[in-house]
Amino acid sequence: MDNNDNEALVTVDGAVALIRETLGVPIPKSRFQKDSANGTAPRPTAVYGRRFLYEPRKILAYGRTLIKTFPATVA
């Protein structure tokens, strides 16, 4: 595991909340789960029981890929 010892890992619910709070992207939990299934979202860093745990920096990098820039209009 390449994360810092003091960096807390987040669950799926925590990942969705982190993206919403930090980036302002209104992502639903189902979108994250679908993207995880098709390989778009980051792979889990660890597993605790039946819960997947993710590194916050990877979650935020994934969240930034969801944001599309608005094209500038040519006048």
pLDDT per residue over 21-47, tens digit each? 999 999 999 999 999 999 999 999 999
**Within a domain: residue 45?**
yes
Nearest-angstrom CA–CA distance, 11 and 44:
9
How open is the CA angle 61-13-8, to the nearest 5 degrees?
Answer: 65
Which residue segment(s) compose the domain that 60 sits in? 12-65
Find the distance separating the first CA and the last CA of the chain, reported in whole Å: 51
Confidence tier at 58 by pLDDT (50, 70, 90):
very high
**Within a domain: residue 38?**
yes
**Within a domain: residue 3?**
no
**Within a domain: residue 31?**
yes
- Whether the pTM exceeds 0.85: the reply is no
22 near 12, Cβ under 8 Å? no
With H, G, I as helix, E, B as strand and everything else as coil, classify residue 5: coil
Q: How many domains does the chain have?
A: 1
Q: Which of 5, 8, 11 is nearest to 48 (CA)?
A: 11
**Within a domain: residue 71?**
no
Confidence tier at 75 by pLDDT (50, 70, 90):
low
